[in-house]
Chain A
Amino acid sequence: MSITVGIPRALLYYYYYPGWEAFFRTLGAEVVLSGETTKAILDAGVRASVDEACLPVKLYLGHLADLRDKQVDCVFVPRIVSVERKRYLCPKFLGMPEMARFSIPGLPEMLPVEINIHQRYRQTRQGIAKLAARFDSRSGAFKRALREAKAAQEKYELGLRRGQTPAEVLSGKAPRPAAGNIRVAVLGHAYNLNDRFISMNLVTRLREMGADVVTTEMLSPQDIRRGAACLQKEVFWTFGKKLAGAAFHLLEEGKIHGVVLVAAFGCGPDSLICELVERVYRRSKKAPVLLVTLDEHTGEAGVVTRLEAFVDMLRWGQAV
């Protein structure tokens, strides 16, 4: 029987799952995902975490508890420090294995691996090789797994750029044809936007209101880079830079009617990046911005009302 590797359906799942899945599958392991987010999963996470942790961290811990209850052989909780030169992820990813270990009792074996492209490129590769050897120590197994992972990941990212959201690509559902009469950018971390429970289905709701939705993942890396170049100092968080780059690129391109910024309560990078984006948009007077902050108490009706009002306002703006 093959070893089961549990991957929480939260946080970086939305960025890297196809690559991770291919990696472990090629090595002969069976990947088990935690269930779709439910109130019970979120509650379990909230109970396990420090009060002040941000919503996605609480949710992640809830998904880990779910995997523990599914009795997987091991869980994949990588320490992801940096995925590109000179930029980091948010500190929560740096300390994730510890937060998991000290918050969720009775976790199965945690697969240790550290991804740090900025400071430790070579060690990162060695670390992944060691991880591969845990499943299949034959020579060539690691390289094959890495190749498969890369191919799956590239295919995934290509799909995203065709206008599908991570949730759509991951669930295999075809995107609905673009038929809206206003274009709205929804900018925020993929792990907030694509979790239907905590985002309260925000993207789908906007589409149902007749809006075409653009997200960060749908833009090319070049456009994002160009957009981010207008900042005086480079943003040192990978996702923060993407968000700012996408926002500034879309503003310059001038094809969107409004922006919905989605941030989790207590998100450190967003508290600064969203502020900058809001200010630049306000100065330009080209497109209004709505900031939606998510936490575990968010009432769905309140968010829906705000979205409806925002969309109405954008339509009136078009009619004039």
Chain B
Amino acid sequence: MKVTYPHMGSLSLAVHSLLTGLGLDVVPPPPITRRTINLGVLHSPEFACFPLKVNMGNFIEALEAGADTIVMAGGSGPCRFGYYAQVQREILRDLGYEFKMIVLEPPQGHLSELADKLKELGGGRPWPEIVRLLQVTWRQIKALDTLHVRLLLARPRELEKGSCARAYRQASELVLAAKTPGEVDSFLRQGMEALSAVPGDHNRETLRIGLIGEIYMLLEPAANLDMEKVLGEMGVEVERSIYISHWIKEHLVLSTLRLGGSKKIRKAAAPYLNHFIGGHGWESVGETVLYGRRGFDGIIHVLPFTCTPEIVAQSILPTVSRDYGIPVLSFSLDEQSGEAGVITRLEAFLDLLWQRKLKRRETSSTG
């Protein structure tokens, strides 16, 4: 069995180390390139959302590289993601690939089905060993997220372009190589120190921007044209609203125990939207309110083209933006998005934010 999985930011790295730890022969999908996206687009439904197309590119390239088993996540709706695997399997079958697809469906109140699939992947390994591996993976995911938060804060102040990203990459490689929870923790500590030690101009003034939207588009740099990096290098302190560790905690752990998480976000959204609408639409509205309250300079909303939950959110965001006086810029991205166009829009947006910031300062100092 040669296993592969789709890319999704740093989550794929942790999934990779988990699968390897289970003793599986893992064929990682090659890094996402223009070819990956072109292949995915060619064989996907035209109006499917962008993540499905990128996944398809990953699967095709991994199958070309010799994979014969695909591990994919499922879902129970109403977001389209829950049905991705069903469509992808049929398309790949029509393309003539021979493979097995293991779909990990979220547990609806019970963990047994998910556990069975993990056991199947574990190939007869005893439970305690699988649980230990899962614990290490969980620590790794959390550690990568912690490092990432710090990376986003440090990047706008770095003196040498790319130095923070380098420190982050080194730290994450160590974290991923760790074999025990203790090792993960100590590599995390080291990594945090390394990131703090990156030479930077700590007096430099920055803008603070909240990055909200659909989870895949936020997590996968190849899908969002590396927006965090672009913003960071333009001198913006970015705070990303979604991290995979929060998501897992909420959807796999808390919802199984019937404890709804992210109450704070939902409460903040309530005056505008008091109901789930699938995907991350509800959160997008709530996060905007929270960033507004915290006095952020602006919001960037990223969604895959035709994503219905985010479109619902998008129709509400202008009102939130007005009420809290926080500018919001939406990017609906897919294979057609051109980097130059996105950068121009970002530059114009940042100019606007700087002017607002300076004007406010003037009025407060003279008034």
Answer yes or no: do A and B interact: yes
Q: Which residues of A contact B (CB under 8 A)?
A: 49-50, 52-54, 79, 81, 86-92, 94-95, 98-99, 102-103, 114, 231-233, 235-237, 263, 265-272, 274-276, 279, 283, 293
- Determine if A272 and B80 form an interchain contact, defined as CB atoms under 8 angstroms apart: yes
Nearest-neighbour CB distance to chain A for B330, whole angstroms, equals: 9
Nearest to B105 among chain A residues (CB) is A233
Q: What are 17 A-B residue pairs whose CB atoms fall within 8 Å in the complex?
A: A52-B332, A79-B275, A88-B278, A91-B79, A91-B277, A91-B278, A91-B312, A94-B277, A95-B281, A95-B312, A99-B315, A114-B275, A233-B85, A235-B83, A268-B306, A276-B86, A293-B47
- Determine if A233 and B74 form an interchain contact, defined as CB atoms under 8 angstroms apart: yes
Q: How far is the CA of A33 from the CA of B272 in the complex (A)?
A: 27
Nearest to A49 among chain B residues (CB) is B315
Q: How far is the CA of A152 from the CA of B278 in the complex (A)?
A: 32
Q: Which of A50, A266, A293 contacts B314 (CB 8 A)?
A: A50
- Determine if A268 and B86 form an interchain contact, defined as CB atoms under 8 angstroms apart: no
- Determine if B308 and A92 form an interchain contact, defined as CB atoms under 8 angstroms apart: yes
Inter-chain contacts of A114 with B (CB < 8 A)? 275
The verdict on A98 contacting B306 (CB below 8 Å), with A91-B78, A91-B281, A279-B94 known, is no
Q: Which of B78, B87, B273 contacts A236 (CB 8 A)?
A: B78
Inter-chain contacts of A103 with B (CB < 8 A)? 315
B30 in contact (CB, < 8 A): no
Q: How far is the CA of A267 from the CA of B45 in the complex (A)?
A: 12
- Determine if A275 and B315 form an interchain contact, defined as CB atoms under 8 angstroms apart: no
* Binary contact track B42-79/A, C-beta < 8 Å → 1, others 0: 00011111001000000000000000000000101111
Nearest to A235 among chain B residues (CB) is B83
- Determine if B315 and A50 form an interchain contact, defined as CB atoms under 8 angstroms apart: yes
- Determine if A90 and B316 form an interchain contact, defined as CB atoms under 8 angstroms apart: no
Q: Which of A54, A94, A274 contacts B275 (CB 8 A)?
A: A94
Q: How many residues of B contact A (CB 8 A)?
A: 45
The verdict on A268 contacting B49 (CB below 8 Å), with A91-B279, A95-B277, A236-B78 known, is yes
B165 in contact (CB, < 8 A): no
* Binary contact track B269-311/A, C-beta < 8 Å → 1, others 0: 0001101111101000000000000000000000001111101
B135 in contact (CB, < 8 A): no
Q: How far is the CA of A229 from the CA of B46 in the complex (A)?
A: 26
B362 in contact (CB, < 8 A): no
Q: How far is the CA of A271 from the CA of B275 in the complex (A)?
A: 25
Most buried by A among B52, B281, B306: B306
Nearest to B309 among chain A residues (CB) is A91
- Determine if A233 and B45 form an interchain contact, defined as CB atoms under 8 angstroms apart: no
Given contacts A91-B279, A237-B78, 11 further A-B contacts (CB under 8 A): A50-B314, A54-B306, A86-B76, A88-B78, A91-B309, A94-B277, A98-B273, A98-B315, A102-B316, A102-B319, A271-B48
Interface residues of B in 235-286 (CB under 8 A from A): 272-273, 275-279, 281
Q: Which of A89, A99, A293 contacts B78 (CB 8 A)?
A: A89
- Determine if B281 and A272 form an interchain contact, defined as CB atoms under 8 angstroms apart: no
The verdict on A272 contacting B312 (CB below 8 Å), with A235-B83, A266-B306 known, is no
Inter-chain contacts of B273 with A (CB < 8 A)? 95, 98
Q: Which residues of B contact A (CB under 8 A)?
A: 45-49, 52, 74, 76-80, 82-87, 89-91, 94, 103, 272-273, 275-279, 281, 305-309, 311-316, 318-319, 332
- Determine if B86 and A233 form an interchain contact, defined as CB atoms under 8 angstroms apart: yes
Q: How far is the CA of A47 from the CA of B288 in the complex (A)?
A: 24
- Determine if B83 and A267 form an interchain contact, defined as CB atoms under 8 angstroms apart: no
Q: Which of B76, B90, B272, B276 contacts A276 (CB 8 A)?
A: B90
- Determine if B307 and A268 form an interchain contact, defined as CB atoms under 8 angstroms apart: yes
- Determine if B312 and A94 form an interchain contact, defined as CB atoms under 8 angstroms apart: yes
Nearest to B276 among chain A residues (CB) is A94
Inter-chain contacts of B85 with A (CB < 8 A)? 233
Q: How far is the CA of A81 from the CA of B278 in the complex (A)?
A: 10
The verdict on A271 contacting B316 (CB below 8 Å), with A53-B311, A90-B78 known, is no
- Determine if A267 and B77 form an interchain contact, defined as CB atoms under 8 angstroms apart: no
- Determine if B308 and A91 form an interchain contact, defined as CB atoms under 8 angstroms apart: yes
- Determine if A267 and B47 form an interchain contact, defined as CB atoms under 8 angstroms apart: yes
Inter-chain contacts of A86 with B (CB < 8 A)? 76
Nearest to A274 among chain B residues (CB) is B45
Q: How far is the CA of A293 from the CA of B45 in the complex (A)?
A: 13
Q: Which of A92, A95, A98, A271 contacts B80 (CB 8 A)?
A: A271
Inter-chain contacts of B46 with A (CB < 8 A)? 271
- Determine if B82 and A236 form an interchain contact, defined as CB atoms under 8 angstroms apart: yes
Nearest-neighbour CB distance to chain B for A254, whole angstroms, equals: 22
Q: How far is the CA of A276 from the CA of B85 in the complex (A)?
A: 12
Inter-chain contacts of A49 with B (CB < 8 A)? 315
Nearest to A240 among chain B residues (CB) is B83
Q: How far is the CA of A53 from the CA of B330 in the complex (A)?
A: 14
Nearest to B314 among chain A residues (CB) is A50
Q: How far is the CA of A233 from the CA of B76 in the complex (A)?
A: 10
